[in-house]
Structure 1
Amino acid sequence: MASASLRAWSGLKRLVAGPDYPPVQVRPRWPRLAPLAPLLGGIALAGVTVATTQYLIQTRDLPALTGTLIALLTVLPLGFLLSRPLWAWRSMLVSALFGTFNSDPAEVWPWSPAHVVIILLVLLVVGARVERPVLVWMGLLTLVPVWIFVPPSNVAGITLLFVGVTLVADVIGRYARSRSTLSAQLAEQSEMSELEKARRTVLEERTRIAREMHDVVAHHMSMIAVRAETAPYRLPDLPEPARAEFGAIAGAARTALTDMRRLLGVLRSEDSAPLTAPQPGLADVPELVTAARRAGVSATLDVAEGEPPPEAVGLAAYRIVQEALANASRHAPGAAVRVEIRPWTADLSVRIHNGPPTSAPPAVAGAGHGIAGMRERATLLGGELTAGPSADGGFTVAARLPYRGAA
């Protein structure tokens, strides 16, 4: 009981003097005509004001100034209806009290026809925006002018009409709020699904990179183990301590291989077949560019001479070029693509630049995590990757892959 009384008191305070509700965000049906909406609305309000003034002057024998003031007070709530609903109702209640000035007591309605429509419209629109305690007080206070000014023979009918409009407003408001809540929940769920999909895509890319790195590192570990085991046979004059040292190296290499295979078993999904083909490297980039040309991409390759990088760096460079060429063909159709590879003393520089597209790119569905995968590969080697639009309207991907003295 105390809780209900508190809600009723809070609803009355909010209705009479509380903060108003936020404006209604209306999406224009015809965006080009949206700038004309205030002008058209002002013309409509002016027309209703003039018509109401003429009606009051002719039927109630009012002076022109008095009729104009009452007409302005009648139309005033329409100006607040969407932006400040509580102020629209407050001004409507004031106009309902003063709009009966010099009316005929025998009339069914003590207000002008336009005033009656405005009262019902405000009650319906504002009632759909407010909470139920506010709506109950709104309906009760709107009935005060009815009980004061409407002839006794018509009070019951008009009261039922106002109560019916209030109930309809309550139904509309509850339906609109439930739809809004449901839409917000669906939007939140969709956003969470997109985030989860993005996380899953990044994790899958990391897992794929880890598998490829395993194959590269496992190859070198196998070579270490084999060379350490065969060293005593290739070098028969080795002293016994050296033979023991080579045996220890071979055993450590075998143990590391076993641990890596166990790790790969965790990373690889059940339906993923083991990788048996050799991993591509820097020497395979020309073939990759040639395949892109056959696919219709205007691609050129510029590789500077230098010391070949380790296989892990070559694999990362190959995958970065592969992803960048795929992105260029997908998002910049018809653009010229230039691939530059520079082996320096301590790192490998890879740069892929495409010019602006010659035609509009098609709509492509997908999460778009290619750049994230390229950045993961560079970060894994202690390097860095930048990707972004260029000054000529194209796109540039630049990576630095260290392989000497890198952590």
Structure 2
Amino acid sequence: MPSLPDDVLRQLLQNAALSDKATAVNLALLSKSIQPWIEKIIYHEVVLSRESTAHAFLRTIHTSKTKSRDFYASHVKSLFLCPDLDPIDVVTLLSTCRGLDNLSYWPLIHTGNSSSHSPPTSGNWVRPDPWQRRTPTPPLHSHRRDARAQMSNFVNSVALHNMEHLSPRKLSLVLSETHPIATFRPTFDSPFYASATHLTIANGWEEWTAWAGGAISSFALPHLTHVKLDLSVGQAPPEDVSRSRARWLSTVTDGYSSAEESCPSDEEKEALSAWTRKIARVAESIADLLMHTPALETCVLVLRFDSNPARTARQISRLVSARISEYHRSGFVDLSVPPARGAADDPGFDARLVFAWEREPFRYSHAHSSHENAMWRSAENVVKTQRHMSGYTILNCDYLS
């Protein structure tokens, strides 16, 4: 029986390897002659979801006699980093896999705010910054603080040297101003971001609203076309407490109404005030981001824990439009930005803003995942529809194209 040509055999084996990770590993162990064909697939996407897995991969990098550092630089294109890795390990992995196209890194951070969250956490628990892992719970003595600061400076110097050629295109990150590696602080002034086209910020809204509007710009990220932000909406107060209560009283008392009874309670007023501040802060940050990124094609705001996404989108879009209109009236807008961004009768309307409703609040996707790619494609289609309609719609994350 004649054997198959090498190119046909290679295609068959690679298709089998692509269909299943376990099959790929078995094929790589089957024969040394086909091992190089399969290893390209195995190492193309590396997911280090646990610290033990990451340490095993690091051991392979340090001890392998068959693979040089150039192998990882050439073959690893997508990388997901364990959230609680030591910064030294993060630098080692990124400097080794310096040919990355896609990077997902959601480090656990201490925010001091139980409502803030990042994807890898559950509940309200967040782990302190990585350098506190080997220190006792009481405050650090001065010499320990100095040692930690020196180590942080060392990490940054190593990172700048070893990661200078690393510039992924698609990123999914949790950023922190206290991260030991300066690259993962929300400044975006590093060459690391120079080639970024797709950026997912997985921080809680309390964090990204503090810096996203000013830090994310076409100047800092010249190739950025897609950005995605998260908003945990939570329980919203009734749209009009006094009106709904008055309607109820009118129904059950045959038209009776009392001004005192129709007034909202102090608790209801406070809930409405907190909600208003939250929505205003989110809208202000998004409007600033849109105005600072004229080359941006789509800005996705993912609504989580939201029982009424249409209401949330309506309120945020109204405030975003008002702020952008104010930009236009004040003359701060770059007139070279194509007018197709908004509607002729509403200069504040920006079709690039896409509201995505996520009914599964703990579903997060890696930068290289099929779900993430489907999100970007669907958002692009929504932008086209919104330009045609001159109005906003809601993208349901359960039905991505």
Q: What band does the TM-score fall into relative to the shorter chain?
A: under 0.3
Higher relative contact order (CA 8 A, sep 6+): 2
Q: TM-score, normalised by structure 2?
A: 0.21
Judging by fraction of residues, say which structure has more helix: 1
Q: TM-score, normalised by structure 1?
A: 0.21
